[in-house]
Amino acid sequence: MAKRAKLQRKKPGLVRAFAAIGAAMSGLGLRRVLGLLLIVLAAALLWLGGKQVTRFITSRPEYAIDVSRLEVPELPEWCSDEVKRSVRDKPLAEGRYCIADPRLTAFLGRKCEANPWVRKVNYVRRAFPRRIEISLELRRPLCGVESLGRYYVIDEDAVRLPLSYRNWPVASRRMPAVKGVQTPPPEEGGVWDDDAVKGAIETLRAINASKVIARAVDITVVDVSNYGGRTNPRASEVVVYTSASHEILWGRAPTRKCYGELAVNQKVHTLERLLANSACAAGVQLNIRFPGGGIIRRTPANL
């Protein structure tokens, strides 16, 4: 009896609701209601038809594309043959996908960003019937860092690239080696999070910015074994060696300040002046840490 009474109490509410809907429909008019229903029906049919068309296209082999064949379209002029081979040996993506898949370009963009050689993805876009256009910015090798008996190539962001060697240097690479690093290398594509590595990079950046130095010598080694003064707090923390056997006492890395040492631009200017000096023969030591530094002739025993 209680349940029947409860239903009887609800019934007037339902009646009022249906009455309100009927009143609204009569207020709109039968034609308008039918028109709205036709519009809703047409939209539903279009949506279902679009899904059927998409399903049909994605199932057709002629619309499939093998993304493992995608390549960087134009390699920069600075790329050596060795770098070109390494870039092309690393597929940007793998698998077969439908060119009409709306998620394809975003997927390929993420795959390209994950490639150790790719620094920036400018765009990934579809070009029908079956073509993908990509534009990428590659990471440029800067130096090789010695660690665990090998040399691992990194770029100016300290990102490890897919190149490593047991022996260094090789003249054709024209890249300096960084020695004295005490940490192991990261995985390919990872950042070498080591202050000594970053200090070597900043030193190379400062030197490479000078065309005068580039014309005079090639930098072959950056020694950071005394970084932070860990072996001798009074000695130069960064020592740079050139192809002419110069030993350059750089001092602290640009990432570290030291009271009394010359500023980075002053060190570069001093080095330019010393290298242009006729007395700057092969095998001499150049002290550019402090004001008044200069050429120090080394004895044969110290060479």
**What is residue 258's predicted lDDT score, i.e. its pLDDT?**
74
Q: Are 187 and 144 in contact (CB under 8 A)?
A: no
Residues in the chain: 303
Asked whether residue 19 carries a pLDDT value surpassing 70, the answer given is no
Burial 96-111 (b: 16+ CB within 10 A, else e): ebbbbbeebbeebbeb
In this prediction, residue 16 has a pLDDT band, given cuts at 50, 70 and 90, of low
Summarised one tens digit per residue, pLDDT across range 170-218 is 655 578 999 999 999 999 999 999 999 999 999 999 999 999 999 989 9
| Helices first, then strands: H and E counts in the chain | 7, 13
Domain boundaries, the chain: 2-59, 63-138, 143-302
**What is residue 96's predicted lDDT score, i.e. its pLDDT?**
81
Return d(Cα 82, Cα 141) in angstroms, integer.
Answer: 11
Higher per-residue confidence, 166 vs 12? 166
In this prediction, residue 11 has a pLDDT band, given cuts at 50, 70 and 90, of low
Summarised one tens digit per residue, pLDDT across range 67-90 is 777 777 778 888 888 888 888 887
Domain 143-302: assigned CATH number: 3.40.50
Asked whether residue 302 carries a pLDDT value surpassing 50, the answer given is no
Return d(Cα 80, Cα 228) in angstroms, integer.
Answer: 35
